[in-house]
């Protein structure tokens, strides 16, 4: 088939990939956290970089907004470049008072209003779950830092601007789904279909009920904490093991 969304050469992308939505955040992560980082892809300005963290070769590649975009990029990474582990590092909005702005949410599973996983699973409901080893390592890394974090089911919405009224938020809270974002269910489905491991971490940057959020400066500091956890989590895992 050939890579559809990348112009990276074979071998340019590491086995382990961190994936923010924003290509400029991918650039920021590469410049701040990786050594010997170099840009390896730039199709449609969706930037990707490869470098080293604690001697481990790691790539940072953006996936854009929403399940369709994230699914295309993750599929090509796995099928065309042999990526074995994907770690989403993004943002989310809280709908529950117990999950506060600047908290980190590690997604053990993802509910969704998208039909992609039902399509993938012949019309049946598919449980979109994180890889347990990656999840466990992210939890251990978070516990070693002075941050508030939650391990939870998240809601991957197709709509950035939901219908008015708040009924969806009430339903989510009743089912103990504390945050909303837009990609995790798709990423977990792609990883399951193509035999990769995936986990997602999101910093709470917005209050979906109040339609408010933290400042740009607070957002960057909170995202930095999450990225620290993500890099530590993949570093302690060691070499990638086949399933």
24: exposed, middle or buried (C-beta count within 10 Å: 0-12, 13-18, 19+)?
A: exposed
What's the rounded Cα separation, in Å, for the pair 174 and 224? 31
Which position among 76, 103, 131, 206 bears the catalytic label?
A: 206
What's the rounded Cα separation, in Å, for the pair 120 and 114? 11
Backbone CA torsion sign across 121, 126, 130, 133: negative
Total Cβ atoms within 10 A of residue 144: 12
What's the rounded Cα separation, in Å, for the pair 67 and 166? 22
Q: Is the distance from CB of 233 to CB of 141 less than 8 angstroms?
A: yes
What's the rounded Cα separation, in Å, for the pair 91 and 205? 6
Residue whose C-alpha is closest to residue 92's, from 105, 74, 73: 105
Q: Which helix or strand (DSSP H or E) is residue 108 part of?
A: strand 104-112
What's the rounded Cα separation, in Å, for the pair 215 and 238? 36
Q: Which helix or strand (DSSP H or E) is residue 216 part of?
A: helix 216-237
Active site residue 206: yes
Q: Which helix or strand (DSSP H or E) is residue 36 part of?
A: strand 35-41
The catalytic residue positions are 206
């Amino acid at each position: 088939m050939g890579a559809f969304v990348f112009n990276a050469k074979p071998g340019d992308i590491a086995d382990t990939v961190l994936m923010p939505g924003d290509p400029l955040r991918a650039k920021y992560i590469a410049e701040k956290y990786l050594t010997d980082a170099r840009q390896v892809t730039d199709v449609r300005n969706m930037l990707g970089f490869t470098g080293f963290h604690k001697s481990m070769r790691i790539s940072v590649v953006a996936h854009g907004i929403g399940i369709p975009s994230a699914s295309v990029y993750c599929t090509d990474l796995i099928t065309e470049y042999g990526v074995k582990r994907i770690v989403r590092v993004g943002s989310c909005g809280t709908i529950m008072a117990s999950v506060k702005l600047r908290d980190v949410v590690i997604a053990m599973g993802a509910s969704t209003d998208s039909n992609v996983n039902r399509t993938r699973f012949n019309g049946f409901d598919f449980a979109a779950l994180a890889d347990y080893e990656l999840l466990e390592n992210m939890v251990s890394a978070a516990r070693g830092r002075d941050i508030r974090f939650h391990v939870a089911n998240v809601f991957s919405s197709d709509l950035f601007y939901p219908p008015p009224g708040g009924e969806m938020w009430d339903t989510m809270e009743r089912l103990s789904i504390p945050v909303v974002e837009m990609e995790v269910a798709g990423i977990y489905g792609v990883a399951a279909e193509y035999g990769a491991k995936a986990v997602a971490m999101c910093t709470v940057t917005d209050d979906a009920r109040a339609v408010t959020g933290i400042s740009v400066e607070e957002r960057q500091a909170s995202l930095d904490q999450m990225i620290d956890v993500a890099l530590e989590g993949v570093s302690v895992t060691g070499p990638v093991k086949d399933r």
